[in-house]
Amino acid sequence: MDKIVSLLAVTPRLCYTPPMGTMEIILLLVVVVLAVAFAVYFTKTQNNRKSDTEIDKEKLEVLLDYVQTDRVEREKEAELKNLARNEKREKLETYRRTKDTLRDRLRARFDQKEWRPIGTVLNNIDKGTVGTYVLYNATKNKYYVGQAKESFKRIREHFRVEQIALDHMAGDEIRVKILNATDAGELYTEYRMDHLEKTAIELFDANTNGYNKTSGNI
């Protein structure tokens, strides 16, 4: 009986928890603050990772779209170049096949035209018509052959900065013949203007011993 009484006397003291001191409270608060800070940091990091992933996905989509667009553009460019090569090949083959006949017919057309003083064009405000024209330096026996949709306008442009303009200013006698669509007749429907120009350049030796820098656009 005495042992039971002693045990009951001790039990309240075992169950008693003394109040927390100031240091314990401070430590608890520090732990709580650190836990909250860590939770905020972890949440923010996760959000940033999600945002970075979304940004990377958008960048990848933009890059893929650029690659696709670039591929399509390169294919179009290659197609246009191939068409241009085929057209040039076709024009050259036609020129080689018909140049002898065209040269004779073109010579006959130009022989029918009179040489005119260049002043009749330079002093003319009209644009002129579609045509193949020949400029002739009678002083130096040199030719220039060209083509234009507005022949008078194009001829006047030559007499601004080009060599033939300098020769004209120096006093050389310059004459002109213009073979327009009406004068050329069926030649302008049977052949391209490029064919007529190239043939005329060859006819007047305008590239080798004249003012033309190329043998034509074919």
Q: Which amino acid is at 32?
A: V
The answer to whether position 209 is within a domain reads: no
Q: What is the mean pLDDT of the chain?
A: 83
Q: Which domain holds residue 65?
A: 22-82
Q: Measure Cα distances from 80 to 38, 74, 85, 93, 94 in Å.
A: 62, 10, 9, 20, 21
Does residue 58 carry a pLDDT above 90?
A: no
Q: What is the CB neighbour count within 10 angstroms for residue 172? A: 15
- In angstroms, the CA 130 to CA 158 distance is 17
CA-wise closest residue to 99 among 207, 200, 206, 214: 200
pLDDT grade, residue 133 (50/70/90)? very high
**For residue 77, what is the enclosing H or E element?**
helix 22-111
Q: Are residues 103 and 195 in the same domain?
A: yes
Which tens digits make up the pLDDT trace of 20-46?
678 778 877 777 778 787 777 777 766
The model's pLDDT over 155-211, given as tens digits with 9 standing for 90+, comes to 999 998 789 999 999 999 999 999 998 888 888 888 888 889 999 999 999 999 999
Tokens representing residue 9 in the block? 């006397």
Q: Is residue 103 one of the residues assigned to a domain? A: yes
DSSP annotation of 163 reads H
Q: For the chain, what percent of residues have pLDDT higher than 70?
A: 85
In a domain, 11, yes or no: no
Query: What is the per-residue pLDDT across 134-155, written as a single tens digit (0 to 9) for each?
Result: 999 999 999 999 999 999 999 9
At residue 17, what is the residue type? T
Poorest-pLDDT segment among 57-61, 131-135, 137-141: 57-61
Token reading at 23: 């240091």
Q: Is residue 3 part of a domain?
A: no
Task: List 174's β-bridge partners, or say none.
Answer: 137
Query: Residues 59-77: what's their mean pLDDT?
Result: 80
Asked whether residue 58 falls in the same domain as residue 108, the answer is no
Cα separation, 144 vs 114, in Å, equals 16
- Packed helices 22-111 and 193-203: angle between N→C axes, nearest 10 degrees: 60
Number of domains in the chain: 2
Same domain for 77 and 51: yes
Res 109: pLDDT: 93
